[in-house]
Structure 1
Amino acid sequence: MSKSHRTVAVAIMCKTPAPGQSKTRLSPPLAPEECAAISACFIRDLSQTIGALAESDDVVGFAVYTPVGSEAALRQLLPEVFEIAPQCDGDFGVRLLQGIRDLLELGHAGAILVNSDSPTLPASILREAVDAVLSGDNVVLSPAFDGGYTLIGLSKPHDRLFADIPWSTEAVYRLTLDRAREIALPVVTLTGWYDVDDAASLATLERELDETHPVSPIAGVMGAEARSSREFLRIRNTSKGPGERRA
């Protein structure tokens, strides 16, 4: 580990973008090639936010990725300071738990896994998550608007948090709280944010990144700049007719 004291690994859980395999729920309104392109933008933007956070001494940026063999393509999307680690096989809960274990076994005092679908996730939420993870044995969560969570942070692995969860449903966050209650694990709940995984949430992103009248999804909370996503949407909307410009 390159840093000399207690660090938290802040990792994007991601799939290296490829047409037909990335952000498929965004097609329509996006074409498969556009889905891959915007997925790449999301990873670029989120990794830039984490990379800026990693300028402090207690954060190390990571991508926990799939598939193995896509490392060269993935590294093109990440800051040079980022480290990468492959995801294991298994369902999403297995991969989350093993991702936490792998990062902690590298010697980090805590690990935070962030979904790759929130390009405007504010740095302030990530900073609060790092501080909370370093404060003790708890589970740190930023609930997502769709019922999941945008990030999860731990300083110790807790298998029960990931057991018997119906992933990609609106019950994920609620059931995770239930699991924490079962094992008497304290919960630190942060400000929530949103995932961009369908046409409605893509429209939310467009409103947030609108250059003339931006609309924050949470009043008083400023999202990250998300330059790559902003430019992708600008170019796409410029190329469409007036009736096609909003998802």
Structure 2
Amino acid sequence: MPRLLVFAKAPVPGRVKTRLAGVLGTRGAARLYRVLLLRTLAMATATALGPVELWCAPDSRHGFFSACRRAYGVRLCRQRSGDLGARMAHALRRTLIAGDSALLIGGDCVSLSEAELRAAAAHLAGGADAVLGPAADGGYVLIGLRRPCRRLFVGIAWGTPQVLAATRRRLHRLGVNWSELAPGWDLDTPADLRRWRRLQVDSASPKASVV
């Protein structure tokens, strides 16, 4: 059964969802990030696919992370230093050397659902070495692996629209058999926020008492 790894930052105003600060203010953007992360944890645990780990940056000491652990029974892990690729490679390797397959997602992807997480797990169980959840901005919202593959995360221009294309080329060059989910999207910009509000996905958010 796969282990679900959720990457998250401490919800410090001015350090999360910075592109939304002009619309929501830094505190409002941080509050939104909390809501999105709680939604993700509720979804991940509801799938009952396997253990859920919350990989925290810069570390797991923020009180909000402790509240998440109490509310959802997740294990808290500290992200290592380095760029996003190094941090993801480290987290995945920690899981994969133990023999579990792994699905890694961000804490703020509003398009992912329980059905898509189950579909990603099914791809791995069905023989795919990797699974990707493409994002509309040129990145990806999910990556799943059955074995460590550090070279998949080296030399990628993280945070650019070329991430997905570069990752596909790398998978092909490494001879990795992979599958893909339907395209998804992150909530990063004011346009994304308007789309999210129109879709009323906030109605699925967990209880505000944990925020």
Does the pair score TM above 0.5?
Answer: yes
Q: TM-score, normalised by structure 2?
A: 0.91
Could you tell me which of 6, 10, 30 is aligned with 2:4?
Answer: 10
- CA distance change for structure 1 residues 191 and 77 in 2, over 3 Å: closer, same or farther? same
Q: Does 2:32 align with 1:41?
A: no
Is contact 1:137–1:156 with CA below 8 Å preserved after alignment?
Answer: no
Q: Which sections of structure 2, spanning at least 5 residues, go unmatched? A: none
1:23 to 4, 17, 23: 17
By how many angstroms is 1:28 displaced? 1.1
1:160 to 151, 154, 157: 151
- What's the counterpart of residue 164 of structure 2? 173
Q: Equivalents in 2 of 1:87, 1:165: separation in Å?
A: 18
Displacement of 1:75 in angstroms is: 2.6
Query: What's 2:80 paired with?
Result: 88
Structure 1 residues 34 and 97, CA gap change in structure 2 (3 angstroms): same
- Distance in 1, matches of 2:128 and 2:185, equals 26
Query: Which position in structure 2 is the counterpart of 1:131?
Result: 122
Query: What is the 5 A alignment of 1:196-207?
Result: 196-207=187-198
Pair 1:227 & 2:193 matched:
no
Residue deviations 1:113-162 (CA, integer Å, cap 9, x gap): 10122134211110011122233351100101111000000011112211
> Given the two structures, how large is their TM-score scaled by the length of structure 1?
0.78
Q: 1:28 to 1:17 in 2, by over 3 A?
A: same
Cα RMSD (Å): 1.9
Q: Distance between the aligned counterparts of 2:155 and 2:65, measured in 1?
A: 31
Q: 2:66 aligns with which of 58, 75, 98?
A: 75
Give how far 1:224 is off: 8.8
Q: Which moved more, 1:107-116 or 1:176-185?
A: 107-116
Question: 1:191: Cα distance to partner?
Answer: 1.4
Residue segments in structure 1 that go unaligned for 5+ positions in a row:
1-6, 210-222, 232-247
Q: Which secondary structure state, in structure 1, belongs to the residue aligned with residue 72 of structure 2?
A: coil
Q: Is structure 2 residue 134 aligned with structure 1 residue 140?
A: no
The answer (yes or no) to whether the contact 1:140–1:187 under 8 Å persists in 2 is yes
Partner-residue secondary structure (3-state), 1:76: helix
How many equivalent pairs are there?
207
Deviates more, 1:107-116 or 1:141-150: 107-116
1:49 and 1:110 map into 2 onto residues whose CA distance is 19
Residue 19 of structure 2 is aligned to residue 64 of structure 1 = no
Q: Which has the larger radius of gyration?
A: 1
- 1:244 corresponds to: none
Paired letter, 1:226: A
Q: What is the aligned partner in structure 1 of residue 89 from structure 2?
A: 97
In structure 2, relative to structure 1, the CA distance for the partners of 1:226 and 1:120 (3 Å cut) is farther
